[in-house]
Amino acid sequence: MKKMEVMTLAMKPNILILGGGYGGIVTATKLTKELGVNEVNITLVSKHEYHYQTTWLHEPAAGTLDVDRARMPINSLIDENKVKFIQGEAEQVHPEEKKVSLANGEQLEYDYLVVSVGAIPETFGVGGVFEHSFNKWTVNGARELKEHTEYMFAKYNNDPRDEYVTFIVAGAGFTGIEYIGELSERVPELCKKYDVPLNKVKMYVIEAAPSALPGFDPELVEYAMNLLENRGVEFKINTPISEVTAEGVVLKGGEEIKSETVIWATGVRGNPIIEKSGFENMRARVKVDKDLRAPGHEDVFIIGDCALIINEEINRPYPPTAQIAIQQGETVAKNLAALIKGGQLQEFKPDIKGTVASLGGKEAIGVVGDKKLFGSSASFMKKMIDNRSLWILGGTGLVLKKGKNPF
């Protein structure tokens, strides 16, 4: 390599992106359209060699969708001629040194950093969650829960204990409601397959807040609860769990529900890397500046689950959704290009196009614009939203390969 070429390579800014979720992938792909290979070096680091649709995981977890439909190789989503991919787990950012430590001991240098590393379950101080519940909303976590559920049905015939076919979902937010929707839709099939009487299956959703789907339209919440109750789901609202044990859960007040299957879906907190790296945070989430940079760090952007953005209309944080993470990735790509080529940085303003929760089968609820959607029309919209995220990530080809039939 000639001396001038070496100098040019060394002078190109290094952009390091941590995380292969919605925000990280979109940042990487949009960056390649904003900046050429002669202008910047882009590196994407992800724990897995695949991206997975976190918003789909309730389906493979319940067994209503093959888990491979929810994941796709990262090298099929990025242009490896423009983005270097490293499979590894980021453990700590060293902002003063402009380096990131990986779990294998390697250190990566950066000029600009994008942190989009996802979240971990929030326990709210409840003991036994990690030891005795299914709490990993990942590809392998979904696979494990599906296989365990089928094993419980198979086991019941040889040893008919109620706790084998008693299922407890902790949390009536989106994840909990979407999962119990899929499970309640599948239970009759499982009962028939494993010769288990339908009336022996118990399904509980336990929520500490005063309502299911907190913050959602009350009319839609009522529709969802009525539908799920008709499928045999029992709700315990305004009922905190004090402990998860090997035998089930203990509710505040002392009541115990025995179950071999407790699914933890009470919400998330940011990634521990935020706390380890010394960023000012709340529950491992950073209240980012309007351009998505970490306060006091002009070279560090934080997006996705680790970013805290306040909805000033209601003075509450926006929920960390895939929709917002994708939009953040698009904004960060533009802002990085502005920093490198010169230009005005954009403020990030979420554009909430709609919110839809699936309830299993062809049932869902949602709000799109000012319109409330129920039943099959909401289910149609949910699948279209899922397909749109595929289109953003990988274009028409990915939609044809992995997309859902909305009809």
Residues recognised as catalytic: 178
Q: Taking the alpha carbons of 187, 206, 324, 33 in that order, is the dihedral positive or negative? A: negative
Distant-in-sequence contacts of 138-142, Cβ < 8 A, 24+ apart: 138/52, 138/57, 139/48, 139/50, 139/52, 139/57, 139/60, 139/67, 139/70, 139/71, 141/57, 141/61, 142/57, 142/60, 142/61, 142/67, 142/70
- For residues 111-125, b (16+ Cβ closer than 10 Å) or e, as one string? bbbbbbbbbbbbbee
Which residues does 338 contact at the CB level (< 8 Å), separation at least 6?
A: 344, 345, 346
Beta bridge partners of 371: 368
- Please check whether residue 328 is in contact with residue 23, taking contact to mean a CB–CB distance below 8 angstroms: yes
Which residues does 76 contact at the CB level (< 8 Å), separation at least 6?
A: 394, 398
The Cα 129–Cα 149 span in angstroms is 18
